């Protein structure tokens, strides 16, 4: 093993390089600190100084001894977890000398690597959006609720935001702003029942503050779903305590969660108080830019208390959803129930318990919580909540969580050898994908996945086209879950028809932002902060969302062959969406082609033509390609369905024979603008727009991701330039393989020159700022298609870590970006693993990143469970039933449970 040994001193880092462990160092580096930088920034210098050297692990010689980590060091009155920092920086495990002494080097490194791959840990106390981002990343939940990973002792303030959300619980408010009535539908932040704190000798209860909180270590165990926080506290009074708290969501009875709160007085004996609360006074204030709008959604209706149990019932203000939250506090250290007190507060209810404590002993308090609402099939009646509480226990909740996650990891894990960081972050993403959706699989919830999960309030918990980046992962692993998410859309088909009708169109028009009912939740105007005028907001013109839903319907059916779904739901959705596009396409006598106007593509920088009073754009390439694809797909699927089943779906969709004929005519005659080099114009007229001097803007502003804001601040508009927030014209190449897209375009009567793909990718990449995190994912795929593996890897790894590092500087604080998270999973299996599910059989063409030694994952395709193990030479695949697969250009017949190994050239 190649090693570095390091000592972190007060003024410098001392590093020795051992190319062979156990032998003398061949090089020494003394890296003096730069006093203008933090210790974390100084650590980054290691990367530069050691550039070019190869090492597999680091040994930290002077780690402090803590119960939660052995790689923390103290430097100049500051402390840092060097292990966590260096693992992030160098992608290697860092072990302590103490662990090496105890276990031996090889075992210590192995244990640390295993730990790192299954834990998301943060050390220290952070402030503002940085802490809020960590709260989002440490969210626990089960798809019914999401509970942000805030410190239990916190109330919402500038540093902390303990949000609680239940899927599908939305509420509308109307606020008058600058003479304008603005309606907002929010995913409601429900009463905070996770609050717990302590006090000593009946003094003021502890509140989080920098002086008293000496150390805080938060660790989310991805394997079990358990979030553990350890705090070392020294009060101004001299009392020292260790507080260890654990939070876990019940993954079977999803109205429940449990908290274990353990207090160890370290240097005193005396009287300890535990305070817990259900706080009904909370508002939706996670996103500061929404603070001008009414944030109050809750009306507390009743509070009940009984010894160790409390209940808070209420109703959301305009959606009138009833909720009851119950909490029960128990402790093995306080056997007498009379010792628990409950007191009502104006907007909440508090429980307290007091006991005599001794130094060095640990006192345990369990708080079990039940949340029920009238929105799902749960019963918010008190007796029901009480019955659930009576069945709850911390240990039982832990068991459900362990069982669920064990089964989930068995079916969905992606295993990588050779890259700790990617391994850990892919697991973080899988974890959050189920935190956001697990319970929906039951079919008892009417909800889908919001763009920001159940983790924060950005985009008000709305559902976007992001589903298209999310569903493929579920479809290939948990098809029932994917189906239930599509059912959310199916139930809103009548509303989508109304949306279309209201704008004078036939068929179904899904909203750009969807919430409880499926009506449009995007704003139609927004307040210009500079001019204080209400300007039009055209973002809802991203009508492609209906096509993205159609893609999800098709993908689900394609992968599962669920005929019942296609017959009873899917085809009706596809036809209804198609009917909308037929009515939206206009025939142009002059050139004998169809045009689609008044739309926006995914690139949100272009809402309309500069100097035009008409909203939207004409012939957006992505939209038109997807319309052509949908129309052809309907014809293909129709041939696979019994005549009567198709007729029934057509009737339900009011799709008559004229519409059917229009499918072929329109799909082959839609308009694209393609120049001589084969560049597909994002929309008609795009080539006439001036280019921007990106270099100059970069020099002036540094980060130009949100070029729209920069230009608007300069009184310009992004509409007027060739600048894109995210992939648009080339999006179809993300959805399908190149041949499919090329065929669609050729069927439309356009010829593409050789090298057109490379030209397009280079052209658009040079004009894209990646202002949406979704952009990196799409361009990672595009770069790989263009054989540019280096840039593909760069964009993928930035996307993979985008929430972990909160690369947009504060947006993770307002919820994770679920679309990107799930898309990284898809990209790993489809592009790096090269397992393409778009054909009739799985096709395998691996392109592993160089440093990944092996990649292992499962797929469920057309009823067959496949296991893939891929390295740089060989694909090994096992199926549980006989099936056909393509590896490279060759077909193989798999026998049930017999592994097939095929060598391929990388
Ligand atoms: C992106 C959209 C996305 C939305 C929600 C925006 O920033 O431009 O494509 O749907 O975020 O994630």
806-864 residue pLDDT tens: 999 999 999 999 999 999 999 999 999 999 999 999 999 999 999 999 999 999 999 99
CA of 430 to the centre of ligand 1 (A): 20
Q: What is the pLDDT of residue 325?
A: 97
Ligand 1, atom nearest to 819 Cα? 12
| pLDDT band at residue 533 under the 50/70/90 scheme | confident
Ligand 1 centroid–CA 772 distance in Å is 6
Q: Distance between CA atoms of 58 and 63, rounded to whole angstroms?
A: 12
Residue with CA nearest ligand 1 atom 7: 772
Return the CATH number of 128-174+185-409, one of 2.70.98.40, 3.40.640.10, 1.10.8.60, 2.60.120.10: 2.70.98.40
Q: What does the DSSP 8-state code read for residue 23?
A: S
Q: Return d(Cα 622, Cα 741) in angstroms, integer.
A: 10
The residue that leads in pLDDT, 75 or 579, is: 579
The pLDDT value recorded for residue 78 is 86
Beta sheet of 213-221, edge-to-edge order: 119-123, 213-221, 226-234, 240-249, 256-265, 363-373, 322-330, 309-316, 298-306
CA nearest to 505, candidates 473, 538, 543, 452: 543
Active site residue ranges: 604
Indicate the pLDDT class of residue 380, thresholds 50, 70 and 90.
Answer: confident
Question: For the chain, what is the mean pLDDT?
Answer: 96
pLDDT the model gives residue 151: 98
Q: Which residues line ligand 1 (CB under 6 A)?
A: 451, 459, 464-466, 602, 604, 725-726, 772, 774, 819
Asked whether residue 530 carries a pLDDT value surpassing 70, the answer given is no
The vertex-57 CA angle with 52 and 63, nearest 5°, equals 120
214/241 Cα distance (integer angstroms): 10
d(CA 688, CA 792): 30
Q: Is the pLDDT of residue 378 over 80?
A: no
pLDDT one-digit tens code per residue, 722-764: 999 999 999 999 999 999 999 999 999 999 999 999 999 999 9
Work out the average pLDDT over 282-303: 96
Judge whether 329 and 354 are in contact, CB under 8 Å: no
Residue nearest to atom 6 of ligand 1 (CA): 772
Residues 145-174: tens digit of each pLDDT: 999 999 999 999 999 999 999 999 999 999
Instruction: State in words which class domain 3-118 has.
Output: alpha beta
> What pLDDT band is residue 44 in, cutting at 50, 70 and 90?
confident
Q: Is the pLDDT of residue 531 over 80?
A: no
Spans of all domains in the chain: 3-118, 128-174+185-409, 833-906
- Residue 685's pLDDT is what? 97
- Atom index in ligand 1 nearest the CA of residue 466 equals 10
User: Shortest CA distance to 767 belongs to which of 830, 686, 839, 856?
Assistant: 686
> Inter-axis angle of helices 493-502 and 479-491, to 10 degrees?
40
Choose the residue to mutate in 458, 466, 726 for probing ligand 1, maximizing ligand atoms within 8 Å of C-beta.
466
Lowest mean pLDDT among 126-135, 155-164, 530-539: 530-539
What are the tens digits of pLDDT across the range 692-709? 999 999 999 999 999 998
The closest alpha carbon to 832, from 849, 817, 813, 807, belongs to 849
Strand order in the sheet with 835-836: 835-836, 842-844, 883-887, 890-894
Q: Are 736 and 629 in contact (CB under 8 A)?
A: yes
Cβ-based neighbour number of residue 693 at 10 Å: 11
User: pTM of the prediction?
Assistant: 0.98
- What integer pLDDT is reported at residue 529 of this predicted model? 67
Question: What integer is the mean pLDDT of 599-625?
Answer: 97
Q: What is the pLDDT of residue 867?
A: 98
CATH number for 833-906 (one of 2.60.420.10, 3.40.50.170, 1.10.510.10, 3.30.1130.10): it is 2.60.420.10
Paired strand residues for 245:
229, 261
For residue 890, CA distances in Å to 274, 689, 785, 843 come to 67, 47, 20, 9
Q: Taking a C-beta distance cutoff of 8 angstroms, is the pair 290, 461 a contact?
A: no
Q: Does pLDDT of 402 surpass 90?
A: yes
CA of 452 from ligand 1 middle (Å) equals 10
| pLDDT score of 282 more than 70 | yes
DSSP E strands in 358-470: the ranges are 363-373, 415-417
Percent of the chain with pLDDT over 90: 92
Predicted confidence (pLDDT) at residue 622 exceeds the cutoff of 80: yes
Mutate to test the pocket of ligand 1, among 604, 606, 768, 823 (most ligand atoms within 8 A of CB): 604
Whether 794 has a pLDDT exceeding 70, the answer reads yes
Average pLDDT (611-638) is 97
Nearest to 59 by CA among 75, 79, 82, 42: 82
Long-range CB contact pairs, 205-214, < 8 A, 24+? 205/273, 205/275, 206/153, 206/233, 206/235, 207/153, 208/125, 208/151, 208/153, 208/154, 208/159, 208/160, 210/125, 211/236, 212/236, 213/125
- What is the Rg, in whole angstroms, of the alpha carbon atoms belonging to the chain? 29
């Amino acid at each position: 093993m190649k090693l570095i040994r390091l000592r972190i001193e007060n003024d410098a880092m001392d590093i020795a390089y051992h190319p062979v462990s156990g032998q003398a160092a061949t090089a020494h580096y003394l890296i003096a600190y730069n006093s203008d930088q933090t210790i974390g920034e100084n650590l980054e210098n290691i990367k530069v100084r050691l550039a070019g050297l190869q090492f597999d692990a680091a040994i930290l010689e002077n780690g402090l001894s803590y119960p939660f980590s052995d790689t923390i060091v103290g430097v100049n009155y500051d402390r840092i977890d060097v292990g966590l920092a260096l693992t992030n920086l160098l992608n290697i495990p860092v072990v302590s000398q103490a662990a090496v002494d105890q276990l031996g080097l090889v075992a210590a490194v192995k244990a640390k690597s295993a730990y790192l791959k299954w834990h998301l840990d943060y050390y220290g106390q952070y402030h503002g959006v940085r802490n809020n981002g960590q709260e989002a990343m440490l969210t626990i939940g089960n798809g019914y609720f999401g509970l942000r990973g805030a410190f239990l002792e916190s109330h919402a303030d500038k540093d902390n935001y303990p949000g609680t959300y239940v899927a599908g619980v939305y509420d509308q408010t109307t606020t008058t702003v600058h003479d304008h009535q603005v309606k907002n539908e929010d995913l409601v932040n429900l009463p905070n029942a996770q609050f717990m704190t302590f006090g000593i000798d009946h003094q003021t209860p502890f509140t989080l503050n920098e002086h008293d909180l000496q150390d805080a270590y938060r660790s989310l165990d991805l394997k079990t779903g358990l979030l553990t926080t350890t705090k070392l506290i020294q009060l101004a009074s001299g009392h020292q305590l260790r507080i260890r708290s654990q939070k876990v969501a019940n993954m079977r009875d999803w109205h429940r969660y449990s908290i274990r709160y353990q207090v160890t007085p370290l240097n005193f004996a005396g009287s300890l108080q535990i305070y817990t609360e259900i706080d009904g006074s909370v508002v939706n204030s996670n996103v500061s830019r929404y603070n001008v709008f009414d944030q109050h959604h809750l009306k507390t209706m009743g509070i009940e208390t009984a010894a160790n149990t409390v209940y808070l019932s209420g109703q959301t203000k305009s959606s009138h959803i009833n909720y009851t939250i119950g909490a029960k506090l128990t402790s093995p250290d306080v056997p007498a129930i009379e010792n628990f007190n409950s007191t009502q507060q104006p907007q909440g209810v508090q429980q307290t318990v007091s006991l005599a404590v001794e130094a060095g002993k640990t006192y345990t308090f369990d708080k079990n919580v039940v949340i029920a609402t009238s929105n799902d099939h749960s019963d918010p009646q008190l007796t029901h909540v009480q019955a659930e509480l009576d069945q709850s226990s911390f240990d039982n909740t832990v068991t459900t969580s362990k069982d669920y996650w064990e089964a989930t990891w068995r079916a969905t894990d992606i295993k990588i050898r050779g890259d700790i960081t990617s391994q850990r972050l892919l697991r973080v993403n899988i974890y959050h994908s189920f935190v956001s959706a697990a319970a929906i699989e039951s079919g008892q919830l009417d909800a889908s996945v919001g763009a920001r999960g159940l983790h924060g309030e950005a985009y008000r918990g709305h559902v976007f086209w992001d589903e298209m980046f999310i569903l493929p992962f579920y479809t290939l692993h948990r098809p029932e879950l994917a189906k239930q998410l599509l059912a959310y859309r199916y139930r809103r088909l009548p509303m989508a028809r109304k949306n279309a009708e209201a704008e004078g169109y036939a068929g179904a028009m899904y909203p750009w932002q969807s919430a409880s009912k499926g009506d449009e939740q995007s704003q139609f105007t927004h307040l210009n902060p500079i001019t204080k005028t209400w300007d039009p907001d055209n973002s809802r013109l991203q009508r492609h969302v209906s096509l993205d839903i159609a893609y999800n319907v098709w993908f689900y059916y394609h992968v599962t062959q669920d005929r019942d779904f296609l017959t009873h739901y899917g085809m009706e959705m596809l036809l209804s969406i198609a009917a909308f596009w037929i009515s939206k396409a206009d025939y142009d006598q002059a050139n004998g082609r169809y045009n689609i106007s008044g739309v926006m593509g995914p690139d949100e920088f272009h809402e309309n033509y500069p100097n035009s009073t008409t909203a939207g754009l004409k012939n957006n390439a992505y939209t038109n390609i997807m319309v052509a694809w949908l129309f052809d797909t309907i014809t293909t699927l129709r041939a696979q369905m019994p005549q009567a089943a198709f007729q029934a779906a057509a009737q339900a969709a009011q799709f008559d024979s004229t519409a059917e004929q229009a499918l072929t005519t329109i799909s082959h005659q839609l308009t694209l603008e393609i120049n001589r080099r084969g560049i597909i114009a994002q929309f008609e007229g795009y080539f006439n727009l001036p280019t921007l001097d990106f270099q100059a803007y970069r020099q002036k502003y540094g980060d130009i991701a949100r070029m729209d804001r920069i230009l608007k601040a300069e009184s310009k508009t992004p509409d007027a330039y060739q600048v894109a927030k995210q992939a648009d014209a080339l999006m179809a190449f993300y959805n399908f393989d190149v041949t499919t897209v090329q065929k669609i375009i050729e069927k439309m009567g356009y010829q593409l020159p050789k090298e057109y793909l490379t030209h397009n990718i280079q052209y658009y990449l040079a004009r894209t700022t990646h202002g949406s995190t979704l952009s990196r994912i799409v361009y990672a795929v595009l770069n790989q298609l263009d054989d540019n593996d280096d840039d593909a890897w760069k964009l993928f790894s930035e996307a993979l870590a985008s929430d972990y590092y909160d690369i947009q500087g504060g947006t993770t604080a307002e919820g994770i970006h679920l679309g990107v998270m799930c898309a990284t999973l898809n990209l790993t299996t489809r592009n790096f693993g090269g397992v393409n599910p778009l054909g009739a059989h799985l096709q395998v063409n691996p392109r592993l990143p160089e440093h990944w030694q092996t990649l292992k994952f499962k797929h469920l395709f057309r009823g067959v469970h496949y296991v893939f193990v891929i390295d740089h030479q060989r694909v090994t695949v096992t199926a549980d039933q006989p099936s056909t697969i393509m590896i490279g250009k060759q077909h193989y017949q798999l026998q049930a449970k017999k592994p097939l190994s095929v060598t391929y050239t990388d």
